[in-house]
Amino acid sequence: MSINVKETQIVTSDKKILHLGDYSGNVLLIVNVASYCGFTAQYKDLQKLHELYSDKGLKILAFPCNDFGNQEPDSLEEIKTFCSTKFNVKFDIFDKVHAKGDTTEPFTTLNKMEPEGDVEWNFEKFLIGKDSEVIARFKSGVNPLEENLIAAIEVALES
């Protein structure tokens, strides 16, 4: 199923409303994140991806989420401080969201991607092409530096 996310509204950490289409021309990696998850160390590798590919057009958009195991109970400011001090995160962290069901964008739209349905856990990743089309989805256990994810990013950047 082809999903275009251009009109999908998102809210920045300073409560500014944007559309994913504002990032057209860039490749996006959208991730639902949590500070107290077994996958939290992926922040380090997401930052590495940011360092390797941001100059080539990759934007990592992190959306804190407390839907799974109460693993993101902190305030947005606490989350941003944690990410910057523990992992030196320089990519964008957005307002807290819900990643399940039809509750909060961008996941209300991304969850329509077949065949997987709703996000199942923290650190699921959605790769969006320069044309705002969803290219691929990677489950939580896929490390950001895994060969198949990097290959998909590189192909999308070349498109």
| Runs of H (alpha helix) within the chain | 42-53, 76-87, 107-110, 147-158
Mean pLDDT of 30-38: 97
pLDDT in tens, 62-88: 999 999 999 999 999 999 999 999 999
pTM equals 0.95
Which DSSP state fits 21? G
Catalytic residue chosen out of the listed positions 37, 128, 134, 149: 37
DSSP symbol at 109: H
pLDDT at 132 exceeding the cut of 60: yes
Residue percentage of the chain with pLDDT more than 70: 97
Question: Which domains does the chain possess?
Answer: 9-158 (3.40.30.10)
83 is catalytic: no
Tens digits of residue pLDDT in 5-29: 899 999 999 999 999 999 999 999 9
Q: Alpha-carbon distance 91 to 77, whole Å?
A: 15
Does residue 40 contact residue 74 with C-beta atoms inside 8 Å?
no
What average pLDDT score do residues 102-108 get? 85
pLDDT at position 115, please?
67
